């Protein structure tokens, strides 16, 4: 008996989610051109500051974390072994 | 058991502001009970946390855990209502003693080890607190628990004591070591009390201490790297806790009304949304027996309600507008800018994007979505769902109508989180962070979940120090052995000498014939006669 297919088993739905995400990105970026954000720090005044900062912060975060693994990763029983 | 926090909460609400109970013990004035806005808010918070935790653990028949959890919550309450340092110390240590049983209750090798390490570190924190308190009493004659500030050795000791419980950088490893090893229900309690008592203590004693701003900023940044590469999802949440506490510590360090309120409000919200996240992971652990991102996935198919509730918690911790995190975290962010710390502000912004990444996306994604691990189970027991539901409802209601919380805050301020700029800025930040995750995943750059251990500061006392001690013992071994041998030889020699002289054949103990005895007596008498007259 085949199992009932769930919502994300269909590649179509995953693509729909991704496309919705991209649409959200475009819209929120575009808002910057229409709405004047109240600014405290000069950086904030840049168009799409938060968007770009958020994107690059995450990318840099993940890449650095990956690098960290080279130094810090050990086997799961590293502390349990008694050598 | 459910009635306990409800009755307690009523009692707390009855407490009038400014109530102070004093007693004198051996000529020292103690103030075991002191009520003001700050302690009352934490009092209410802890009752809420305890109630949710108790509902969550109703299914468990482990009485020891229930007792420990209730005592733990009680100790936290005692600590925040303490008016003097000695009472604080008493409850400080009680916190450690009661909570360690929640770790031991898991009954695995790792849990026992982690629990012992946890206990040692927490007790060190208590001892430092006691030492600092005694020094302060000696200097000023008063044990009052109020503003201390960083001046002098005593205050540094207390600062470090608070810092240990608060998970300052380098002193933080106990949190990420012990919390994931506790029981599914235990970690929910653990996450709610110890660190928040420490935050309260910092707010009471070190408000406006500038170094806290930098310590807090560090606290927000370094754990998120670990969170990305950790496999055990509750360890990810533990690192995430350090990140959130960092925001609180920054707020306390700034010291302004807005910043302090932001820190305290964030502590309030954190107990609830962190509790929710811990509960959802606890439910997953309870139903599947697994906690590693590499072993989970596809659970949305069998646990849709838990998935949804987890996502509510994730949205809260990421500070999505209309969820609770947004209304408190933004206060701290605004305060940081207002007080002129642009670098710190950028770090906090980085951390905000980061927390969405590892707690907002990674936790729900790897537990419930991602690749299908093939696990098919059911929703957790009803009490767990109810507890999560209560927390989720609180997250959303505070997020939508924060003034209920704002009115409880101790400092005067005018603040509205719902201005267009903030909301748009936050949405941009979050949406593009999500896009970054999606891109990294699709492009296969995202690091996979692997069974692994990542080294942290604990390596110093779990690997390095034992190695040193062992090698010192090894080098001393020959010396130790030769000392033992000499000791043994000397002992044997002494025994032989004694036997020779006093043993059955020995000169002094032998049975002499009477004749020779008489001869010797005559010789002695003759000698003494001659000597006497000479």
Where in chain A are the domains? 1-35, 39-83
**From B349, B420, B435, residue closest to A53, measured CB to CB:** B349
Q: How many CB atoms lie within 10 A of CB A78?
A: 15
- pLDDT, average across residues B122-141: 92
Q: How many angstroms separate the CA atoms of B385 and B393, rounded?
A: 12
Q: How far is B498 from chain A (nearest CA, A)?
A: 47
What CA–CA distance (Å, rounded) separates B175 from B168?
Answer: 10
Across the interface, whether the CB atoms of A75 and B452 are under 8 A apart is answered: yes
Name the closest residue on chain A to residue B352, using Cα atoms: A54
ipTM of the complex: 0.90
pLDDT for residue B254: 94
B428, B445, B450: residue with CB nearest A29: B428
- Distance to chain A for B373, nearest Cα, Å: 13
List the single residue in A57, A58, A74 with the smallest CB-CB distance to B453.
A74
Are B366 and B293 in contact by the 8 Å Cβ rule? The answer is yes
- Contact residues, chain A, for B334 at CB < 8 Å: 40
Q: What are the pLDDT digits (tens) for B322-370?
A: 999 999 999 999 999 888 899 999 999 999 999 998 899 999 999 998 8
Average pLDDT over residues B219-224: 94
| CA torsion, ordered B264, B254, B341, B432, to nearest 10 deg | 0
Between CA B141 and CA B343 the distance in angstroms is 41
The structural domains of chain B, with segments of one domain joined by +, span 1-206, 207-453, 462-533
Radius of gyration of chain A (CA): 21
pLDDT at B200 over 80: yes
Predicted confidence (pLDDT) at residue B464 exceeds the cutoff of 80: yes
- Is B436 close to A51, i.e. CB distance below 8 A? no
- What's the rounded Cα separation, in Å, for the pair B352 and B371? 27
Rounded distance, CA A82 to CA B14, Å? Answer: 55
**pLDDT tens readout for residues A41-77:** 888 888 888 999 999 999 999 999 999 999 999 888 8
Category of B20 on φ-ψ map: left (φ > 0), alpha (ψ -120 to 50) or beta: beta
Whole-number mean pLDDT of chain B? 91
DSSP E strands, B355-404? none
The label of the residue with tokens 């070190």 reads B206
Residue B345 to residue A68, Cβ atoms within 8 A: no
Q: Which residue of A has its CA nearest to B455?
A: A72
Across the interface, whether the CB atoms of A53 and B453 are under 8 A apart is answered: no
A22/B435 Cβ within 8 A: yes
Summarised one tens digit per residue, pLDDT across range A24-35 is: 999 988 888 888
Mean pLDDT highest for which of A2-11, B208-217, B442-451? B208-217
- With beta carbons under 8 A apart, name residues in chain A contacting B421: 37-39
Q: What's the rounded mean pLDDT across residues B436-445?
A: 91
Record: contact B431-A21, CB cut-off 8 A = yes
Best B433, B441, B450 member to test A by mutation, with max A CBs in 10 Å, is B433
Maximum pairwise Cα distance, chain B:
126
Confidence of residue A1 (pLDDT cuts 50, 70, 90): very low
Residue matched to tokens 């990810």 = B236
In this prediction, residue B190 has a pLDDT band, given cuts at 50, 70 and 90, of very high
Residues of A whose CB is below 8 A from B446: 62
Q: Which residues, 6 or more positions from A43, have their beta carbon under 8 angstroms from its beta carbon?
A: A49, B342, B346
Please answer whether residues B219 and B243 qualify as being in contact, where contact means their C-beta atoms are separated by less than 8 angstroms. yes
Q: What is the pLDDT of residue A2?
A: 58
Q: What percent of chain B has pLDDT over 90?
A: 66
Q: Nearest CB to B427: which of A22, A28, A49?
A: A28
Question: How far apart, in whole angstroms, are the C-alpha atoms of residue B328 and residue B260?
Answer: 10
Find the range with the poorest average confidence among B97-111, B218-232, B492-506. Answer: B492-506
pLDDT, mean of residues B275-293: 93
pLDDT tens for each residue of B297-309? 889 888 999 999 9
**DSSP letter, residue B319:** T
Segment of B5-9, B245-249, B464-468 carrying the highest mean pLDDT: B245-249
Sole residue written with tokens 């350090």: B242
Listed range (B4-8, B131-135, B327-331, B356-360) with the worst mean pLDDT = B4-8
B434 contacts A57? CB cut-off 8 A: no
Residue B32 confidence (pLDDT): 84
Mean pLDDT of chain A: 85
Interface test with B, best of A8, A50, A78 (most B CBs within 10 A): A50
pLDDT in tens, B470-481: 999 999 898 889
Instruction: Quote the CA–CA distance of B75 and B98 in Å, as a whole number.
Output: 8
Q: Which of B432, B449, B465 to mutate to test the interface with A (most CBs of A within 10 A)?
A: B432
**What are the residues facing B20 on neighbouring strands?**
B34
Closest to B428 (Cβ–Cβ): which among A48, A61, A79?
Answer: A48
**Partner residue opposite B453 with nearest CB, options A37, A57, A76:** A76
CB pair distance less than 8 Å for A21 and B438: yes
Name the residue of chain B whose CA is nearest to A44's CA.
Answer: B425
Tell me the average pLDDT across B202-206.
94
Lowest mean pLDDT among B8-22, B215-229, B317-331: B8-22
More confident residue, A1 or B315: B315
Q: Which residues of A touch B427 (CB under 8 A)?
A: 28
Q: What is the pLDDT of residue B522?
A: 93
On whether the CB atoms of residues B184 and B283 are closer than 8 A, the answer is yes
Query: B197-231: b or e for each residue (b if 16 or more CB lie within 10 Å)?
Result: bbbbbbbbbbbbbeebbbbbbbbbbbbbbbbbbbb
* Subunit contact B419:A38, Cβ cutoff 8 A: yes
Predicted confidence at residue B4, as pLDDT, reads: 79
Closest residue, chain B, to A6 (C-alpha): B301
Q: What share of chain B is helix, strand, coil (3-state, %, to 5)?
A: 75, 5, 25
B346: which chain A residues are within 8 Å (Cβ-Cβ)? 43
Residue B84 pairs with which residues in a beta bridge?
B144
């Amino acid at each position: 008996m085949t199992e009932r297919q769930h919502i994300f088993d269909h590649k179509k739905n995953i693509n729909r989610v991704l496309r919705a995400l991209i649409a959200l990105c475009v819209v929120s970026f575009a808002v910057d051109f229409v709405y004047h954000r109240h600014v405290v720090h000069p950086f904030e005044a840049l168009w799409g500051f938060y968007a770009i900062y958020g994107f690059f912060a995450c990318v840099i975060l993940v890449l650095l974390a990956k690098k960290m693994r080279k130094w810090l990763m050990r086997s799961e029983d590293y502390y349990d072994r008694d050598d | 058991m459910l009635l306990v926090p409800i009755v307690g909460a009523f009692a707390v609400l009855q407490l009038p502001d400014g109530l102070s109970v004093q007693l004198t013990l051996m000529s020292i004035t103690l103030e075991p009970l002191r009520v003001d806005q700050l302690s009352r808010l934490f009092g209410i918070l802890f009752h809420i946390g305890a109630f949710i935790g108790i509902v969550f653990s109703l299914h468990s028949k482990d009485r020891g855990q229930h007792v420990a959890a209730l005592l733990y919550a009680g100790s936290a309450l005692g600590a925040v209502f303490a008016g003097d340092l000695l009472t604080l110390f008493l409850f400080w240590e009680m916190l450690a003693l009661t909570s360690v049983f929640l770790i031991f209750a898991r009954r695995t090798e790792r849990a026992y080890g982690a629990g012992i390490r946890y206990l040692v570190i927490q007790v060190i924190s208590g001892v430092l607190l006691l030492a600092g308190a005694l020094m302060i009493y000696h200097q000023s004659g008063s044990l009052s628990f109020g503003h201390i500030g960083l001046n002098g050795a005593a205050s540094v000791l207390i600062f470090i004591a608070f810092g240990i419980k608060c998970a300052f950088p380098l002193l933080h490893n106990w949190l990420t070591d012990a919390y994931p090893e506790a029981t599914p229900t235990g970690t929910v309690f653990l996450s709610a009390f110890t660190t928040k008592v420490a935050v309260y203590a910092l707010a009471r004693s070190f408000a406006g201490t500038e170094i806290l701003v930098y310590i807090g900023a560090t606290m927000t940044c370094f754990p998120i790297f670990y969170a990305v590469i950790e496999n055990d999802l509750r360890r990810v949440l533990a690192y995430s806790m350090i990140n959130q506490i960092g925001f609180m510590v920054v707020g306390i360090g700034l010291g302004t009304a807005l910043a302090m309120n932001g820190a305290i409000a964030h502590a309030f919200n954190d107990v609830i949304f962190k509790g929710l996240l811990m509960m959802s992971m606890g439910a997953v652990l309870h139903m599947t027996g697994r906690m590693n991102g590499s072993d989970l996935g596809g659970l949305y198919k069998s646990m849709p309600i838990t998935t949804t509730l987890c996502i509510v918690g994730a949205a809260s911790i990421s500070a999505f507008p209309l969820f609770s995190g947004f209304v408190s975290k933004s206060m701290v962010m605004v305060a940081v800018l207002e007080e002129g710390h642009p670098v710190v502000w950028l770090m906090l912004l980085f951390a905000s994007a980061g927390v969405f990444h590892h707690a907002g996306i990674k936790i729900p994604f790897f537990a419930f979505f991602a690749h299908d691990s093939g696990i098919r189970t059911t929703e957790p027991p009803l009490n767990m769902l109810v507890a999560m539901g209560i927390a989720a409802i609180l997250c959303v209601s505070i997020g939508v109508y924060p003034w209920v919380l704002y009115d409880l805050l101790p400092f005067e301020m005018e603040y509205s989180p719902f201005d267009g700029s903030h909301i748009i800025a936050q949405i941009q930040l979050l949406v593009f962070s999500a896009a970054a995750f999606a891109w990294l995943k699709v492009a296969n750059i995202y690091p996979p979940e692997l069974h692994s251990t990542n080294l942290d500061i604990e390596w110093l006392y779990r690997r390095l120090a034992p190695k040193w001690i062992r090698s010192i013992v090894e080098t001393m071994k020959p010396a130790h052995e030769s000392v033992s041998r000499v000791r043994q030889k000397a002992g044997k020699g002494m025994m032989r000498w004694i036997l020779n002289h006093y043993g059955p054949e020995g000169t002094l103990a032998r049975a002499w014939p009477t004749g020779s005895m008489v001869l010797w007596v005559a010789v002695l008498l003759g000698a003494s006669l001659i000597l006497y007259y000479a």
